[in-house]
Each structure stands twice: as C-alpha cells, then as structure tokens.
Amino acid sequence: MSARIVVLSKPGCHLCEDAFGDVARIADDVGVTWTKRDISNDTELMAQWAEYVPVILVDDEVHGWFRVDEQRLRAALAHDHDVRSRSSRGG
C-alpha cells in the first residue's frame, strides 16, 4: 500500500522540516501513512516544484505547497476516507 501523503522536498529546505513534523503528527492522528520524497535528483520534478517545496500530495494529487494547512489537510483526509468507505460498501 502506498502512502496517502507524500511531501516533496529538497535538501536545505527549512520549510520542509516544518512540514515533516506537521504531516507526521496529522497522519498519526488520522491513522494514515506518509512519506517524504527528495526531488533533488529528479530533473523533471525539480523543474516543476523546486521553487515550491515542500509540496504536499494527498492520494497523488497536489494538495498544497510551502506550509501545511492543518485544517485543510485533515478535511481532505477525512473527506477521502468517507468517499472510500461509501464506495467499499457499494454506494
């Protein structure tokens, strides 16, 4: 199973360190997995996101960048959980 939350980062990014702490705490509270991904060796991701890190992805979709909006992240995770629960029950 892949992580629900991915934080795109690069070395030397102080905002990334802040985001790691926030995401770890929220993910633990909500009971979802998360991971960080260093984009510094990926030229395509660097071209797209280097100036925006940290970039937070939820279920492989861009959720936000620079700072973690805790309420918004919790809402996105809860909303998706509700949708997944309904679809697994057939409606």
pLDDT attached to residue 89: 45
- Point out which residues pair with 6 in neighbouring strands: 35, 57
pLDDT tens per residue, range 6-59: 999 999 999 999 999 999 999 999 999 999 999 999 999 999 999 999 999 999
Domain CATH number, residue 66: 3.40.30.10
Say if CB 23 and CB 10 are below 8 A apart.
no
58 within 8 A of 69, measured Cβ to Cβ: no
Q: Domain count for the chain, please give it.
A: 1
pTM for this model (two decimals)? 0.85
Domain that holds residue 17: 5-88
